A and B are shown apart, each in its own frame.
Chain A
Amino acid sequence: MRFLPLILRNSWRNRRRTLLTIASIGVSMCLLGVMIAMYSAFWLAKPKDNQALRLVVRNRVSLAVFLPIAYRQQIERIPGVRLAMVDTWFGGQYKDAREARNNFPRFSVEPEKLFPLFAEWTIPEDQKQAFIQERTACVIGRDLANAFNFHLGDRIPIQGDIFPGNFEFTVRGIFEAPANSDVMYFNKEYIAQAMPERRRGEVDTFYVLIDDPQHSAAIADAIDAQFRNSTSPTKTESEQAFVIGFLSMLGNVRMFLVWISAAVMFTILLVSANTMAMSVRERVREVGVLKTLGFTEGTILGLILGEAVAISVAGGAIGYLISTVLLKGVERSPMGGFLPALRVFDPLIAAVCILLAGLIGLVSSLVPAMGASRAPIVEALRSTD
């Protein structure tokens, strides 16, 4: 610690190089920061309080195969289940389906249960009541309203495909959600009316609200056990797992993240190693002088390693800060609705990023630092490089 001022002054000597190195590491580190945050949100993070209380029940075969609506009562009777809501992917077509933005997700649900289930969403009470009372009403997320400039009272025509028919929904509520809310919900009764008798009870998924996150796994098992020997066995997962399963359809996200992170880390390693090799080479004579003054090999090793760590930690910190801005963008992007609880500022991820940067700095400077600290005094002093 005594040598900290010396380390800092050393690293500040060739300002341009240090700044370029910090910038280079910072830019790469910001990518790594985003990847780490996404990875941890997917596979490591605990779901947010409300999300941990939600389970999703679907047909074991696939999402495209329906469950009978009668399952709802049976699910609600299982201890620990507070309510079960029908949530069916409606599909359908709004204007020209070939334009990607027109394919926003649409679900038919039970209006009185939607907001108790997604307690983190906010909507004015009168709008909520209007949605519950009017059969042809729909509620939309703030992001969807902004994207299409929808207002209360507007009518949204949707042509059904999985559920054939021409439907027109009146916007009776616009809700605010912490994540992307490019989504539309309407009353399942309105759809059922237009269906032939035998198709009225078709349900895609049940969203289940439970009383205690601790019991999540046990309740999921109890639900699946209930229907194991029926004609339509179920698969029940936490909402978080369900969302990840949905996202994994986009390709092997996990492998994608890991490989790119590895490439980025290796690039940082190269950049940092290169800088340290250059700065050590310039200072061989200085190392000779330091040794003459009585500095030990260990101290010199520490000085050089410390310099590398200081530079890469600075780059790591800057990179992390940039990554939080990027993450904010990711969260508001259309993909954001699929992502699990993404925490924009997470001290743990910040610590991981900065530690990782420090570690990379340390590893990258090991070879030049050892070389310099071991050089015999006479040779070091003779060096003219």
Chain B
Amino acid sequence: MAIPLSYNLRNLVVRRTTTLMTALGIALTVAVLLAVLALVNGLRVTLATSGDPRHVLVTRKGASSELTSLVTRSQFQDLKFKPGIASGGDGQPLASLELISIISLEAEGSGTGDNVTIRGLMPAGIVMRHNVRIIAGRWFRQGVNEAVVGKSLSDQYPAARIGKKLRMGRADWEIVGVMDAGRGAQQSEIWGDLNQVSADWNRIQYLSSALVEAPDAATAKALVNSIADDTRLDVGAELETDYFARQTQFAEPIEYTGIFVAIIMAIGSSFAAMNTMYAAVARRAREIGTLRVLGFSKLSILTSFWVESVLLAGMGGVIGCLLVLLVNGRTTSIGANFSQLTFAFHVTPLSMVAGVVFAIALGSVGGLFPAAAAARKEILSALREI
């Protein structure tokens, strides 16, 4: 017969200081793990909402990112008229040749510069980004050194506010508008007219990438194949959504470091949980003896103490989940492709469940030995202990 769960619960309550301290230790471990998962998750959400399933990104064959890609103007002329590309309102194909580079901006209160993406694009490029809209000021004009900045950049960097002048390649650029891209990566970019940007960077012929739009998501896949298989064009192509999904690799070092730290902390916490449970067993020797006299088997004793340890750890896991909610939604930035990408911590219910499971795993390992010690006690000597 099993010992009622309320016995364990009441024991945890009676020793509340010890219970709380052990649980808090476990909670911190879980919170570290969840914070790192939330960071990586936030990045994933941002990248997932950045791409449009109808968009095809054209880069140099084998390029790992837009920044290291290379597409020439003549390649673009051939690309633009490929069948399968949707037309815009003006009858022209929805295709934008783009140049991507980085400039260094100084954040408020820090003396060091952060790298920020600057993108030169064609008018079609703006039309195609349906998720991006101007929330202050206006779009840049063609043929002038004017730029529009993403909202999170203008929030973060005083030098990137409307009316300010930014020094880019060789010239000064006036910021005329702020754009909002929701959670998209464009939120951390600066946009300008392609011809102006490429002239400023001295890269008139050699640009970075091209973005084209298919009529719908189903034909986009076919467009990818037809561009990638075109030997005359000699470029690489992939769905924009796939491209952004690939960028999550930049969070990998942080993810691995965080998980490593959490595992080491978990080892430390499971020792602590073991300690607490050994003390619980030692203090309740007489109780254990009594339970045995009442007819509870060794197995029920083992289960009962093990369950108590799991309960203790589970409680820590829940507190850890609550702690991590404090960082949920906070914005942070990470370097991806040599430039800053701003996004928010995103705690998901699934990761919280994972956190509690992690805590329970930790508690069950830590509780096993003390529970076994409790079960092994001889009835008589247990009753005699004080």
Contact = CB atoms under 8 A, between A and B. Distances in A.
Interface of A: 16-17, 20-21, 23-25, 27-28, 30-31, 60-65, 91, 93, 96-98, 100, 103, 159, 161-162, 164, 198, 231-232, 244-245, 248-252, 256, 259-260, 263-264, 266-268, 270-271, 273-275, 277-278, 335, 384
Contacts, number: 157
Contacts of B191: none
- Ranked nearest first, the 9 interchain pairs of A and B with the lowest CB-CB distance are A249-B335, A24-B271, A27-B268, A97-B64, A28-B268, A62-B104, A251-B334, A270-B25, A274-B21
A100 B264 contact: no
- Is chain A's binding surface mostly helix, strand, loop or mixed? helix
B279 to A, nearest CB: 5
Given A62-B102, A64-B101, A252-B333, A16 B269 contact: no
Contact of A263 (B32, B63, B170, B278): B32
Given A251-B333, A260-B261, A278 B18 contact: yes
Given A61-B167, A65-B201, A252-B333, A31 B275 contact: no
Interface stretch (B108-116, B350-358, B374-382): B108-116
Interface string B242-279: 00001001000110000001001101110110111011
Interface string B57-68: 000101110011
Interface in B70-121: 70, 101-104, 112-115
B182 interface: no
B332 interface: yes
Contact of A162 (B68, B115, B167): B68
A296 B263 CA distance: 44
B271 A63 contact: no
Contacts of A161: 60, 63, 68-70
Interface string B355-386: 00000000000000000000000000000001
Nearest to A266: B28
Contact of B264 (A25, A30, A97, A259): A30
A28 B201 CA distance: 50
Of A164, A263, A277, most B-chain CB atoms within 10 Å: A263
A24 B18 CA distance: 16
A28 B63 CA distance: 42
A31 B279 contact: no
B123 interface: no
A24 B68 contact: no
Interface string B176-207: 00000000000000000000000001100010
Given A64-B67, A93-B62, A251-B334, 13 more contacts: A17-B275, A21-B275, A23-B268, A30-B264, A63-B104, A161-B69, A161-B70, A198-B202, A251-B335, A263-B31, A271-B268, A274-B21, A277-B21
B285 interface: no
A17 B269 contact: no
B265 A28 contact: yes
A24 B334 CA distance: 32
A250 B335 contact: yes
13 contacts: A20-B275, A96-B62, A97-B63, A159-B62, A161-B60, A249-B335, A249-B338, A250-B335, A251-B332, A263-B31, A263-B265, A271-B275, A273-B21
B29 interface: yes
A97 B21 contact: no
A271 B272 contact: yes
B112 A245 contact: yes
B46 interface: no
Contact of B21 (A17, A270, A384): A270
B18 to A, nearest CB: 6
A97 B386 contact: no
A62 B190 CA distance: 14
B115 A249 contact: yes
